[in-house]
């Protein structure tokens, strides 16, 4: 039967999946990691699998067992087990290198943006640290998905069936939580091996105000590049610091990004009509004699989610917002490092292609949340921010982030001339000074009142009294 991760997409049918890609397909759908290097069963892992399986089932119904749509205790345990016991703690030298790189990057960024430093803490994480520190955000992203999928099964049951199955629902819910938790643990364990910073996939996964880099992953990433690892570390520190500045000083941005993911997840709908129709024509006797008929029924793709207009709107909003974030970071970091890092242009292109081709981060996110987190218009967004920097300057460029309604939309990224003209014409000034906006409104209303009365309007009752003494406006005069 087709194995849909988190019940969403068949990764084996992904046209962009490359041979040997372990981040999708059977490797990502095997929560116990039983596949050997060649994809076969590894007998040496049987004991570990049985231990994990026993721990999972023994936890059902136990006091203190985590409740909810996803069992995050199991997720964390499996993610750490996938990393193995060989996770080396960050050395004191690596800590110093990260701190020095971040300090240098912050100094350079001061010249490239009006947003001050946003990180109150800079640290170096191991892969285990990344799992621990980002799990609260993953909970926020994964819970709506798991709740929707779990609720759909009971929602489609007739009222009589729901009443009959009520005693079993609690155990089924915990079983579903175990299934989601094992899938999440496998995916996070894979992603933790390759993520470079806390904002590597464009989302603020870590704690607010904490800039984090993963030295071990950065060393592995640097091995295939021509630039010195020290320069790559500074460049990645600048990207991390730029993300932190943006998320810290644009207070609505974090909620907008994470909220778009939540909106997408809550809009998941399943169309069970096809399977219901197929079941009506299924002979129970034939099913009993040939169980493969049931597998054939379930493998028809009828459980794939149906994209609703609301979901598509949330997805478009999310993709555009992520592209704007990545484009702004790329522009600011390019201006900050300038000629200080000769290989900065090549690094920017490498990271852009890493995102555009759907690397491990995007594949993992598609598995966990059900959508591909791949901003398709990063180049267009970077070009727009570059033109704004040239035409209106850094201050007015950054002023576009003052309010979500001021941001360009997807059409503006394709044809930015009109948006740039609006900024040049003062399109963002209305949100820069609310008091001035109020004063302008009062002045406009005053002018309209004067025009209706044919002259300057009397501002107070005292002035009206003076007019009555002169016989103006007094019927008895």
Q: What is the pLDDT of residues 198-224, one digit of tens each?
A: 998 888 899 999 999 999 999 999 998
Pairwise CA distance, residues 380 & 342, whole Å: 24
The stretch 215-234 carries a mean pLDDT of 93
Q: Give the pLDDT confidence of 54-65 residue by residue, as tens digits.
A: 555 454 444 444
More confident residue, 304 or 341: 341
Please, which pLDDT band fits residue 37 given cuts at 50, 70 and 90? very low
pTM above 0.75, yes or no: no
Secondary structure, 3-state, 274-315: HHHHHHHCCCHHHHHHCCHHHHHHHCCCCCCEECCHHHHHHH
**Average pLDDT estimate for 353-377:** 67
Q: Predicted confidence band at 231 (pLDDT cuts at 50, 70, 90)?
A: very high
**Residue 90 DSSP label:** P
Dihedral (CA of 189, 344, 236, 335) sign? negative
Per-residue confidence (pLDDT) for residue 425, from 0 to 100: 81
385-440 residue pLDDT tens: 999 999 999 999 999 999 999 999 999 999 999 999 988 886 544 444 555 556 66
State pLDDT tens for residues 261-272: 888 777 766 555
Question: Using CA atoms, how far apart are residues 381 and 388, in angstroms rounded to an integer?
Answer: 11
Q: Which pLDDT tens digit goes with each residue over 291-332? A: 565 556 555 544 455 667 888 888 888 889 999 999 999 999
Reduce the DSSP state of residue 211 to 3 states and report it.
Answer: strand
Helix (H, G, I), strand (E, B) or coil at 475: coil
Residues paired with residue 197 on neighbouring β-strands, in sequence order = 213
Which of 40-44, 87-91, 131-135, 207-211 is predicted with the least confidence, judged by mean pLDDT? 40-44
Q: In terms of C-beta distances under 8 Å and separation of at least 24 residues, what long-range contacts does 205-210 make, across chains too?
A: 205/133, 205/134, 205/137, 205/138, 206/133, 206/134, 206/137, 207/133, 207/136, 208/247, 208/248, 208/254, 209/118, 209/119, 209/120, 209/121, 209/244, 209/248, 210/119, 210/120, 210/121, 210/122, 210/123, 210/133
Contact 236, 102 (CB under 8 A): no
């Amino acid at each position: 039967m087709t194995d849909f991760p988190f019940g969403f997409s068949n990764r084996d049918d992904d046209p962009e999946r490359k041979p040997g890609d372990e981040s999708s397909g059977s490797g990502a759908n095997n929560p116990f990691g039983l596949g050997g290097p060649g994809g076969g069963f590894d007998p040496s892992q049987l004991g570990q699998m049985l231990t994990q399986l026993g721990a999972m089932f023994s936890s059902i119904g136990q006091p203190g067992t985590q409740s909810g749509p996803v069992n995050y205790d199991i997720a964390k345990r499996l993610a750490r087990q996938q990393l193995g016991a060989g996770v080396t703690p960050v050395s004191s030298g690596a800590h110093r290198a990260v701190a020095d790189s971040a300090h240098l990057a912050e100094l350079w960024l001061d010249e490239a943006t009006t947003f001050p430093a946003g990180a109150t803490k800079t640290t170096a994480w191991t892969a285990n640290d990344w799992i621990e520190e980002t799990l609260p955000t993953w909970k926020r992203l994964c819970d709506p998905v798991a709740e929707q999928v779990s609720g759909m099964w009971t929602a489609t049951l007739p009222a009589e069936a729901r009443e009959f199955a009520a005693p079993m629902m609690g155990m089924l819910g915990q079983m579903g939580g175990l299934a989601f938790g094992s899938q999440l643990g496998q995916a996070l364990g894979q992603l933790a091996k390759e993520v470079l910073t806390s904002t590597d996939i464009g989302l603020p996964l870590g704690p607010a105000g904490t800039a984090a880099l993963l030295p071990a992953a950065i060393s592995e990433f640097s091995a295939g590049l021509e630039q010195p690892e020290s320069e790559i570390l500074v460049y990645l520190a600048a990207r991390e610091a730029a993300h932190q500045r943006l998320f810290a000083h644009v207070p609505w941005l974090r909620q907008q990004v994470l909220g778009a993911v939540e909106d997408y997840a809550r809009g998941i709908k399943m169309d069970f009509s096809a399977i219901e129709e197929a079941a009506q024509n299924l002979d129970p006797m034939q099913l009993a004699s040939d169980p493969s008929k049931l597998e054939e029924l379930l493998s028809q793709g009828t459980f794939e989610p149906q994209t609703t207009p609301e979901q598509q709107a949330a997805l478009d909003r999310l993709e555009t917002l992520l592209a704007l974030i990545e484009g702004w970071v790329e522009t600011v970091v390019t201006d900050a490092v300038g000629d200080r890092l000769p290989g900065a242009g090549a690094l920017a292109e490498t990271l852009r292609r890493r995102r555009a081709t759907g690397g491990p981060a995007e594949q993992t996110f598609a598995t966990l949340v059900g959508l591909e987190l791949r901003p398709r218009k990063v180049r267009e967004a970077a070009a727009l921010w570059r033109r704004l920097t040239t035409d209106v300057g850094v201050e007015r460029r950054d002023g576009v982030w003052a309010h979500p309604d001021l941001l360009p939309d997807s059409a503006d990224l394709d044809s930015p001339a009109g948006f740039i003209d609006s900024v040049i014409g003062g399109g963002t000034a209305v949100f820069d000074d609310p008091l001035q906006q109020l004063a302008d409104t009062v002045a406009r209303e005053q002018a309209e009142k004067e025009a209706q009365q044919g002259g300057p309007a009397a501002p107070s009752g005292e002035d009206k009294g003076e007019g009555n003494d002169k016989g103006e406006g007094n019927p008895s005069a």
